[in-house]
Amino acid sequence: MSTFIDYDFLLDNKTASTLYHEHAAKMPIIDYHCHIDAAEIYNNRQFADLSELWLAGDHYKWRLMRAYGVGEELITGETSGWEKFQAFAKVLPLAIANPVYHWAHLELQRFFNVYMPLSTETAEAIWEKTCSKLSEESSLSARGIIKRMNVEVIVTTDDPIDSLEWHSLLASDDSFKTKVLPCFRPDMAMNIEGKGFVDYMTELFNSSDIHITSYDDLKAALLNRIEHFDSCGCRAADHGMFRLTFSPSSENEVREIFLKGLHGKPVDAESADKYRYSLFTFLAEEYARRDWVMELHLGVMRDVNTPMYDKLGANTGFDTIGVSIDIPHLARVLNSLNMHGNLPKTIIFPINPNDNAAVNTLAACFSAEGVRGKVQQGSAWWFNDTLGGIKKQLQDFAEYGVLSNFVGMLTDSRSFTSYTRHEYFRRILCGFIGDMVDKGLYPDDFNYLSLIAKDISCDNAKRYFGF
């Protein structure tokens, strides 16, 4: 029987162990998609306790607590950090096989040298030890954690209206070696049927200094922000959409649809799809022109619990896997961009794991000379970054394409300690490869095995994004 999270955690044979410890584990971290606040990095935020470091803003943990029946006061309410931590400690031992159980204990081990499992019985001792370390060790500040984990590049997620002042300050700070780059996320501008669309147009005017009275003004304002992001080192744009449809229409029709949304009039679903498709193709062309990577996060149903959304707002743990991606529509969207020479390097993140095979086979239809995996499936995302979900994504990517093209893991997190998710992924990756060798499905050739592991762990992302 193996020891809980030991030296060879998830590494079931000698090949996997050697591959991880001598190769993958030594690679820097390229975190090409996350939700870390650049201001907190610049100001080198200090954390008083595990409630601040772990529980604040982490809807993965919140979902576990709610599933167990913990009251909201002990999750997002005004109770003390210790009380919230106690509530989490009560739930965690019962969450067997949930990735949060592994992530939490990897973080306790790597950052605090705590090897006892968290439970009601150990909560007080762990709380006291971690509070002491947080107050005494500079390596547990925001910048300290990043340096400690050998993070080479961080890509945040930023609205077009963001000034990016903190990114600029970080770029000019010679004492901090990690690159912190923005990612362009224009979801609010795309969501014409959303409640905040009209107000958002005012905010976009304020940031671009372009008065938005027409669809052409909107495109000019977004182009202004793209140029600003590009000047700040941006290498990627991200779109989070429930669906993406191939919905071409005339420019005049889109102009009329936009004016309805701008004046707060209802926009039906068909018209919204036409507007979204038009704006999306305009933006994709600009991404391709700058050699940005386009990330598509597709299929999530967001904020399905209306009372809790009204109480807490978005990104608080009330989202779910939605319908499968409409592959025929997505194929036509990519094909149209490709026909006009406007298809950027594209990473597709399906939220429904049943879409893996379809996404991988579709991606292989759009290649380009000199670009490894120009269009490819992204890492197992959100509800899929489990032990089984990551293995399934690797298996599907390998069976339908060239696994060694894969740009690898990201944290997609708001937590500074979440960099251990890269370790979790790399161990699963090396275990997956080692199992292939152990079963005689691939030769024991470390010239190639080490190259594959290092490329997926780090080097592919550096090449693909141009960091």
pLDDT tier at 267, thresholds 50, 70, 90: very high
Same domain, 273 and 363: yes
Q: For residue 58, what is the domain's CATH number?
A: 1.10.2020.10
Q: Are strands 345-350 and 375-377 parallel, antiparallel or unpaired?
A: parallel
Question: Tens of pLDDT along 196-216?
Answer: 999 999 999 999 999 999 999
Write the DSSP assignment of 370-385 as a string of letters. TBTTSEEE-S--GGG-
Domain with 301 in it: 183-195+224-233+240-246+269-401
DSSP state of 368: B
- Residue 100 domain-assigned? yes
Of 252, 238, 204, 196, nearest to 224 (Cα)?
Answer: 204
Can you give the pLDDT at residue 57? 87
Same domain, 341 and 434: no
Same domain, 117 and 134: yes
Instruction: Using a pLDDT cut of 90, give the percent of the chain over it.
Output: 97
Residue recorded with tokens 């939220």:
351
* C-alpha–C-alpha distance, residues 253 and 250, integer Å: 5
Say how many domains are in the chain: 3
CB neighbours (10 Å) of residue 328?
12
Final residue in a domain of this structure, among 372, 401, 430:
401
pLDDT tier at 194, thresholds 50, 70, 90: confident
Residue recorded with tokens 């990114």:
167
Can you give the pLDDT at residue 440? 98
Same domain, 282 and 165: no
pLDDT tier at 434, thresholds 50, 70, 90: very high
* pLDDT > 90? residue 466: yes
| Mean per-residue pLDDT, 369-385 | 97
Same domain, 394 and 292: yes
- Residue 171 domain-assigned? yes
Same domain, 330 and 228: yes
Q: Are strands 179-181 and 236-241 parallel, antiparallel or unpaired?
A: unpaired
Same domain, 416 and 280: no
* C-alpha–C-alpha distance, residues 247 and 245, integer Å: 6
* pLDDT > 90? residue 230: yes
Q: For residue 431, what is the domain's CATH number?
A: 3.20.20.140
Of 293, 170, 287, 296, nearest to 232 (Cα)?
Answer: 170
Query: Are 160 and 222 in contact, with CB atoms under 8 Å apart?
Result: yes
**Predicted TM-score of the model (pTM):** 0.97
- Residue 213 domain-assigned? no
Final residue in a domain of this structure, among 123, 139, 155:
139
* C-alpha–C-alpha distance, residues 452 and 317, integer Å: 35
* C-alpha–C-alpha distance, residues 177 and 156, integer Å: 16
Same domain, 397 and 412: no
pLDDT tier at 243, thresholds 50, 70, 90: confident
Question: Tens of pLDDT along 334-369?
Answer: 999 999 999 999 999 999 999 999 999 999 999 999
- Residue 251 domain-assigned? no
- Residue 208 domain-assigned? no
* pLDDT > 80? residue 1: no
Can you give the pLDDT at residue 248? 97
From the centroid of its chain, how far is CA 337?
24
Q: What is the mean pLDDT of the chain?
A: 97
Final residue in a domain of this structure, among 401, 425, 455:
401
pLDDT tier at 323, thresholds 50, 70, 90: confident
Measured N-to-C along each axis, helices 356-363 and 387-400 cross at an angle, to the nearest 10 degrees, of 40
Same domain, 433 and 332: no
* C-alpha–C-alpha distance, residues 387 and 397, integer Å: 16
Same domain, 60 and 38: no
